[in-house]
């Protein structure tokens, strides 16, 4: 697939995705960034580590800014978790600490799996129009 065709496919996927699917896609990218950051840390590639972990931090900040914690039970706890994750990713990057990055990877993977499951359940329980 050419680069232009791939970009068009990705753009179309994003443009046509439901809000729940967009959230899952964002989490999937977050997991990928943290995985890549951890792999780069293990290789000693500080530049790539910084690139991946700062992108992950940007995603966390986007999730945080779009969150409306008063809209659902547990919203304030999720907001606090986003703050914790952001701080830990910054610390992992500054200290070049793969242990902290690994802990963040566990958390973001669990969050991603939870949101993916919630999106599937919401899609299967949504009323179907005739």
The CATH H-level superfamily of 19-124 is Flagellar protein FliS (1.20.120.340)
Contact indicator for 29, 57 with CB cutoff of 8 Å: no
pLDDT at 71: 86
Alpha helices, H only, the chain: 3-16, 19-43, 46-66, 75-95, 98-125
pLDDT at 25: 94
Contact indicator for 41, 49 with CB cutoff of 8 Å: yes
Whether pTM exceeds 0.85: no
Question: How is residue 90 written in tokens?
Answer: 């910054």
Residue-level pLDDT, tens digit, the chain, 130 residues: 566 655 554 455 555 668 888 999 999 999 999 999 999 999 999 999 999 999 999 999 999 999 998 888 889 999 999 999 999 999 999 999 999 999 999 999 999 999 999 988 888 876 655 4
Residue among 7, 69, 61, 8 nearest 30 (CA): 61
């Amino acid at each position: 697939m050419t680069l232009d065709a791939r970009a068009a496919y990705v753009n179309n996927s994003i443009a046509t995705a439901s809000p729940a699917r967009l959230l899952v896609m964002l989490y999937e990218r977050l997991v990928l960034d943290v995985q890549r950051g951890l792999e780069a840390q293990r290789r000693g590639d500080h530049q790539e580590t910084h690139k991946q972990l700062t992108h992950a931090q940007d995603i966390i900040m986007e999730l945080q800014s779009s969150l409306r914690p008063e809209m659902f039970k547990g919203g304030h706890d999720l907001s606090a978790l986003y703050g914790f994750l952001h701080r830990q990713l910054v610390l992992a990057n500054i200290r070049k600490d793969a242990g902290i990055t690994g802990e963040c990877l566990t958390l973001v993977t669990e969050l991603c799996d939870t949101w993916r499951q919630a999106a599937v359940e919401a899609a299967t329980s949504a009323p179907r129009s005739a």
